[in-house]
Structure 1
């Protein structure tokens, strides 16, 4: 199950779109004359529409089960990337391809994989989520050199063909054989569906906790995605070589993977909001460091703090959804919250770039990011104690406690 989820997260619709786009900037610029910002604008279509499609995917998952929707989504993501190989001089054909990746591949996003983990694991749910979502780190390591090699040897169109093979040739077979989540959707004829414990999506929307999480998500992802693409330019503006600046970003990437696993292990043992606040708030310090002319080692430390937070946020979102709202409508509830992730991730880079163009400096952007982190980290402390949800599996059966899985008499 974990292997299938890692592959699905790595090579699903969201996993590698951002990490691969940079390799296509110069080839598309040379062939069509598009600006670099124009090419990277495709990510807004991919992430933004992915956020809009996520709630629909969540509804389908709750209705038909995660397996069917995930497998279909992997095929859809492959078709979307394949269509990019036929982009013309009109940039809208390129944007349409990334829109197809988001819409056709919506079922291969984190909603499917995290729902399976949340239902399958209880005692070690946090660590399992961290392992599954570390697929983004796998994608960050593997995809860029793979795409660059294809483009250098065969051209950018074959590069997109190569991308289309990742979800279909790698993730799809692994998911087909190993992704068999415990679904309660579509029961056998004559068998009543088991009702998982928890709130409906509408009940979750009425909870203050939902909106606290949404506030934290939007604040954190606006800050994180604003920093990532601007980190290298900001450091090279201060006189560092591109390789030295890239090394700082590499520390960020390694910290993302480590943060996922560390936070997953901690939230299985300690109150998750406290862990979240301890990890999500320190990027305020990172932004203060980036604002000043300090020794190189300080920038490496700042990248470490920011990377830990970036790695933790998505794991925490899945964990909080399961613990505070239950599993009854997990996919729908998580997908609504994930829409905030996708929209913020799509807006963040463009917003920070716009601020730079207006002010001629990254200082304002880092200041805004510090304010966002100061809001997004501590606010999760208001979530309070974990609620307990119960259900009866069959007539006369003892209720089951969602927090432990043990019967309550």
Structure 2
């Protein structure tokens, strides 16, 4: 990457990056995911629901998000990113508001399902499409900066929810969360989501851009290697992060302290997103991904029974690094191996696997807790998934020369 050209792109598109960062952070995927952990014990205490049943709500948000992702990709190409994003932001708020009034699991699940369906246009398919199409010289860095919004939510939301819950209960905490998309994301996206007109990124047109068709991508082994690696990585990330706060509280750590430890995930997600984005513009991305995924494999083994604050902070920080990098890597690798001509649809299919991992892991890991009485087995499973995901990455091989721009395709 030419440094001067890359910095020029980033400076010229900073308002677009801010809009994307806020949009993805306050999305139908991020808000339910990072809210469910600190809400689990208060809901359990008030309504008597099992933890696994509470965390199953993520299956209805992320799971339906996975099912709607291909449709979202088609809608972006057909109608443009802005027309899809704006009504979807309202949908996120409405769905979470419904969940806050639940007195039965059915209504609780309905709220999370409504968040996914009505807010489908806020998932990372849209924001990644806009950024990948608007930036070329600094694409990895731009993706890292745009997707940093989920890191900020991971950092701030647990403590906000704990504070609101202490003030007025879990329902008030969830209603406060529901206000965030309307109050913050909607005005910024309305004003600043203006994809580069020259490249027509995410603006309903991909004609003339290089890339394979959806069918060609599905016949390429690299699509399945990438999708499997991302799926395993997100099974590990999602299962661990959503259960981290209740796991620490079970060890006798105060709720606010547990939320602070979980906040370390958000702190390192930010440099994880940004630094990995800058690095993959210069170094072979699958090699970077392998290193990033091996580190949390070790951290999960430590988290099985760690109590020392320094060790907990370090382990959570490593998890944040991986959580920060995974989504960026999927977006970047999809563009580098399959091009931009049908990016929205190809990325949406790969993202569906990621979303299914995010949807099922919280329930599966909470179920392991309910069966064993601890989260030790869950952390061991997560570490194994991280390790396999890391070892799959080098199988992607060299970048296709067709989509190289001015960067080296060498491994």
Q: Identify if the C-alpha distance between structure 1 residues 301 and 69 changes in structure 2 by more than 3 Å, giving closer, same or farther.
A: same
Q: 5+ unaligned residues in a row in structure 1: which ranges?
A: 390-400
The alignment status of 1:58 with 2:73, answered yes or no, reads yes
- What residue in structure 2 maps to residue 325 of structure 1? 338
- What residue in structure 1 maps to residue 31 of structure 2? 16
The alignment status of 1:386 with 2:388, answered yes or no, reads no
Q: CA deviation at 1:299?
A: 3.8
> Normalized per residue, which structure has more helix?
2
CA distance in 1, matches of 2:40, 2:257: 22
3-state SS of the aligned residue for 2:184? helix
3-state SS of the aligned residue for 2:72? helix
CA distance in 2, matches of 1:150, 1:235: 20
- Which one of 94, 113, 133 corresponds to residue 99 of structure 1? 113
Q: CA deviation at 1:168?
A: 2.2
- Which one of 12, 22, 45 corresponds to residue 60 of structure 2? 45
3-state SS of the aligned residue for 1:281? helix
Instruction: Spell out, residue by residue over 1:226-248, the C-alpha distance to the aligned partner (whole angstroms, 9 max, x if none).
Output: 22244455556667666665554
Give me the TM-score of the superposition, normalised by structure 1.
0.85
The alignment status of 1:172 with 2:186, answered yes or no, reads yes
Q: CA deviation at 1:322?
A: 0.7
| Segment of structure 1 superposing worse, 277-286 or 315-324 | 277-286
- What residue in structure 2 maps to residue 395 of structure 1? none
CA distance in 1, matches of 2:256, 2:27: 30
Checking the alignment, whether the CA contact within 8 Å between 1:184 and 1:194 is kept in structure 2 is: no
CA distance in 1, matches of 2:65, 2:393: 25
- What residue in structure 2 maps to residue 340 of structure 1? 353
The alignment status of 1:163 with 2:165, answered yes or no, reads no
Q: Identify if the C-alpha distance between structure 1 residues 63 and 19 changes in structure 2 by more than 3 Å, giving closer, same or farther.
A: same
- Which one of 80, 86, 100 corresponds to residue 71 of structure 1? 86
Instruction: Spell out, residue by residue over 1:78-119, the C-alpha distance to the aligned partner (whole angstroms, 9 max, x if none).
Output: 2222333443x3321221111011011111111111100000
Q: CA deviation at 1:294?
A: 8.2
CA distance in 1, matches of 2:306, 2:156: 33
- Which one of 123, 129, 153 corresponds to residue 139 of structure 1? 153
Q: Identify if the C-alpha distance between structure 1 residues 140 and 302 changes in structure 2 by more than 3 Å, giving closer, same or farther.
A: closer
Note the 1:9-408 alignment, pairs <5 A: 9-22=24-37, 24-25=39-40, 28-29=43-44, 32-87=47-102, 89-147=103-161, 157=171, 159-182=173-196, 183=200, 194-232=207-245, 234=247, 246-291=259-304, 296-389=309-402, 403-404=405-406
3-state SS of the aligned residue for 2:282? coil
Matched pairs, number: 389
Instruction: Spell out, residue by residue over 1:112-168, the C-alpha distance to the aligned partner (whole angstroms, 9 max, x if none).
Output: 111000001111111111111110122234434544555555665554443333222
| Segment of structure 1 superposing worse, 353-362 or 327-336 | 353-362
Checking the alignment, whether the CA contact within 8 Å between 1:323 and 1:403 is kept in structure 2 is: no
- What residue in structure 2 maps to residue 4 of structure 1? 19
CA distance in 2, matches of 1:376, 1:62: 30
Q: Identify if the C-alpha distance between structure 1 residues 164 and 49 changes in structure 2 by more than 3 Å, giving closer, same or farther.
A: same
Checking the alignment, whether the CA contact within 8 Å between 1:184 and 1:195 is kept in structure 2 is: no
Q: Identify if the C-alpha distance between structure 1 residues 79 and 294 changes in structure 2 by more than 3 Å, giving closer, same or farther.
A: closer
CA distance in 2, matches of 1:293, 1:254: 20
CA distance in 2, matches of 1:343, 1:239: 32
Alignment RMSD (CA, Å): 2.8
Checking the alignment, whether the CA contact within 8 Å between 2:57 and 2:108 is kept in structure 1 is: yes
Q: CA deviation at 1:16?
A: 1.3
Larger Rg, first or second structure (1 or 2): 1
Q: CA deviation at 1:206?
A: 1.0
